[in-house]
Amino acid sequence: MTDVIQVIDLQRSYRMGSVEVAALRAVNFRIGVGEMVAIMGPRAPASRRS
């Protein structure tokens, strides 16, 4: 199957005060032609998005 999207070693962290929080660590995935994907989670206030 042909990959439309491939993600390798995705990482995301944020700070809460003096603590760094790793929200995502080493995430890997592939999305192929014809596959449907939904990414869900709590909505962050606009002031917290980066």
| DSSP annotation string for 1-50 | --EEEEEEEEEEEEEETTEEEEEEEEEEEEEETT-------PPPPGGG--
Q: Read off the pLDDT of residues 8-44 as tens digits, 9 standing for 90 and up.
A: 999 999 999 999 999 899 999 999 999 999 988 887 6
Higher pLDDT, residue 3 or 41: 3
Decide if 47 is inside a domain.
Answer: no
Per-residue model confidence (pLDDT) at position 49: 57
pTM of the model: 0.60
Decide if 49 is inside a domain.
Answer: no
Decide if 22 is inside a domain.
Answer: yes
Chain centroid offset of residue 50 CA? 12
Per-residue model confidence (pLDDT) at position 8: 96
Per-residue model confidence (pLDDT) at position 47: 64
Decide if 26 is inside a domain.
Answer: yes
